[in-house]
Amino acid sequence: MSTRSIPPWIPPPPSKVTDFDWAPLETLDLSLITGENMDQVPVSVVEQVGTAFSSTGFMYAINHGLTYDQVLRQFSIAQYGFDHITDDEKDRCVADMREAGSFVGYKPMGHWHIDGVKDRIEQLNFGSQHFTEGQHARYPSQVQPFLEEIHAFSRFNHDVILRKVLAVLSLVLKLPVHTLWDLSKDHETKGLDLLRFALYRPPPPEDDEALGGVRLQGHTDFNSVSILWSQPITSLEVLMPDNVWRKVRHRPNAVVLNLGDAMHFISGGLLKQTIHRVVGPPEDQQALQRLGVFYFALFNEDVPLEPLLQSEVVKKAYHGRDFWAERRAQGLPAVTAGEWERLRVRAYGQGGQKKGSDGHDHERIAGVDVKLYNSIPSTQATSHESRPATHNVRASSPIRARHKHLTETPRRVMSPLRA
């Protein structure tokens, strides 16, 4: 494999602000899952993961098998890409989000306009079906020399981390250990998995002002399992079961796992698609760019998002519910994983949301009510200095809103994306 020499990406220093009410997340030790087919799973792991994903819905995972240097190499490639791709190449490779509902390629800043505010997130998305040589031209020429390395890393996410997580989750659903893997394994021919590099640039103060410091609106991911490679900028927040946003603490060389809509549907709602968002970091990180590396896994595109009712626990969780009632009433089947992904990508951030009586933004996708959250206050550190700077300046910031008992109308902010 080529390992072209490029400047190493040095993780930015962690914030000195540490007195947050951090999200108390469980840690999955992936080395406990063994066997050639990654199907030897201790009972204690099944219990731990089952509890985590039916409550908080987020977990750390460690001992995945890559060294931190191997992971940082991907961050270096990502940074190199964002630093060197020319405007012409960005234009040439822009992802067809509106028509095809696909993130594959380059996502420019500002594709999402909400209430006149443009997002400040650039992305490069590598599709699992688009690593073959004939597909290389989809990607900017500046990153083409790295596609082999990116592909290998992407495969590692799928073939090791995802496979282990799906083995555990199949057992959580009391199904044969390979069930969820069998629905996901053909990602290079029938899948829409994405390896994503993302660069969050600090917004101009007026944008932060308008959006209350929120940079990616509270959302659920669209896919099955999201693998977020931990990075040091303190910005990711999870909406916990007690309805409080808590920050996810950086752990070097760990991943943060969460589940998306597709897993929620297929498990009859037993497994949670947890709401999360990205907010401005503490003062000492405000000026920094935030680089992210993510793997968004999905079931193969033709898999219907029907609950797996052969599982007794799924059946029980689904009792009295019908995710696809509206479609059935029109004589239509449940959507497939691919359809759901494309519909959400197309709609995302295009202004189709409506404010609900609960204050959240709602989008109707395939007859399902999809919520985008902005109005719940963030839990903050106890000291004044530790609050994100943007949260100190606005009368209507989330912090102030909390003190006003949430009487303000929530703002519409950029919704997230994918996954």
Ligand X SMILES: O=C(O)CCC(=O)C(=O)O
Listed ranges 183-191, 214-222, 378-386, 399-407: which one lies at the site for Fe ion (CB under 5 A): 214-222
- Taking the least distance from each CB to ligand X, the nearer of 46 and 256 is 256
**Are 151 and 2 spatial neighbours (Cβ–Cβ below 8 Å)?**
no
Give the three-state DSSP class for 152.
Answer: helix
CB of residue 398 to ligand X, shortest distance in Å: 18
- Taking the least distance from each CB to Fe ion, the nearer of 122 and 221 is 221
Q: Does 341 bind Fe ion (CB under 5 A)?
A: no
Question: Which of ligand X, Fe ion, none lies near 228, with the C-beta cut-off 5 to 8 A by kind?
Answer: ligand X
d(CA 237, CA 256): 12
The interface mask with ligand X, positions 204-223, x = CB under 6 A, is: ------------x----x--
* Residue number of the CB atom closest to ligand X: 236
- At residue 188, φ and ψ (nearest 5 deg) are -90, -5
Q: Does 228 bind ligand X (CB under 6 A)?
A: yes
Closest CA to 324 of 282, 367, 278: 367
d(CA 374, CA 218): 6
Could you identify the residue written with the tokens 């199949």?
170
CB of residue 416 to Fe ion, shortest distance in Å: 5
- Taking the least distance from each CB to Fe ion, the nearer of 146 and 222 is 222
CB of residue 318 to ligand X, shortest distance in Å: 26
- Strand ranges in 153-270 using DSSP code E only, listed in sequence order: 194-200, 214-219, 225-229, 236-239, 245-247, 255-259
**Interface residues for ligand X in 233-262 (CB under 6 A)?**
236
In one-letter notation, the amino acid at residue 33 is I
Q: Which two tokens stand for residue 262?
A: 């597709």
d(CA 247, CA 138): 36
Q: Does 292 bind ligand X (CB under 6 A)?
A: yes
- Taking the least distance from each CB to ligand X, the nearer of 153 and 318 is 153
Q: Does 416 bind ligand X (CB under 6 A)?
A: yes
Listed ranges 3-11, 42-50, 97-105, 221-229: which one lies at the site for Fe ion (CB under 5 A): 221-229
Listed ranges 104-112, 124-132, 379-387, 410-418: which one lies at the site for ligand X (CB under 6 A): 410-418
Closest CA to 204 of 276, 313, 270, 280: 280
Beta-carbon count within 10 A of 359 CB: 14
**Are 117 and 414 spatial neighbours (Cβ–Cβ below 8 Å)?**
yes
Question: Which stretches of the chain bind ligand X, using CB under 6 A?
Answer: 216, 221, 228, 236, 276, 278, 292, 416-419
Question: Which stretches of the chain bind Fe ion, using CB under 5 A?
Answer: 221
